[in-house]
Amino acid sequence: MLTILLISWLLANSLIAAYPQQDATQFSAVVTKTEAVFSLPVQSRSRWSWNQPDTADNKQEYRMDVTVKNEGREYTFGFYLWKRHGAKAGSGSLDDLISKGQKSLFERTDQRLMTIVRDADVKVKRKDDLVVITIHARKDMERLFSSKPAEATFKIKYPGEQEIRQTIPIVYQN
């Protein structure tokens, strides 16, 4: 019995180490009837670099997104930057990085694949040391929040660093 408890403890701690947690108070998820606003902390850097030489072609360099489950479906939306073949290295501010990346909504299919939702309207911007992801379109609000999912999972990925995951409750306001 002690061996089973020890193995369980080790597995749980290795999973926690695999996905470092941030202070949950740095994240927010607020949904009203007309918009959904999700904020997540970002590292403070004077310059951000993308399409780095040590990143393989067609690999994701950055990810700052949110996952929710609504009416039995899973959706992920936010900011993504992949290094495309032949892409020129760049650097600049966080605003510059955001302007270079993709702002998208994905739906997980029955085959467990993520497919892009082409008609979605996802906005991403910087506000101080936060990235703010906003959904406004009525069709997207219905698609993502019709059953009022209780929680949102944030994921943050920077080149060469471990992915950060944080799950927080969604606050619904009238």
Mean per-residue pLDDT, 115-119:
93
Q: Which two tokens stand for residue 13?
A: 């701690």
pLDDT of residue 150: 98
- Calculate mean pLDDT across residues 112-138: 94
Distance CA 85, CA 124 (A): 25
Rounded average pLDDT over 13-34? 71
- Is pLDDT at 13 greater than 90 in this prediction? no
CB-CB neighbours of 148 under 10 Å: 9
> What is the per-residue pLDDT for 132?
98
Sign of CA dihedral 30, 98, 100, 56: negative
CB 90 within 8 A of CB 129: no
The pTM of this model reads 0.85
Residue owning tokens 């930057």: 81
Domains of the chain by start residue, with CATH = 22-172 (2.60.40)
pLDDT in tens, 147-157: 999 999 999 99
pLDDT tens, position by position, 57-70: 999 999 999 999 99
Q: Would you put residue 35 in left (φ > 0), alpha (ψ -120 to 50) or beta?
A: beta
Q: Which of 158, 133, 162, 152 is nearest to 42 (CA)?
A: 158
**Pick from 59, 41, 50, 69: nearest CA to 126:** 41
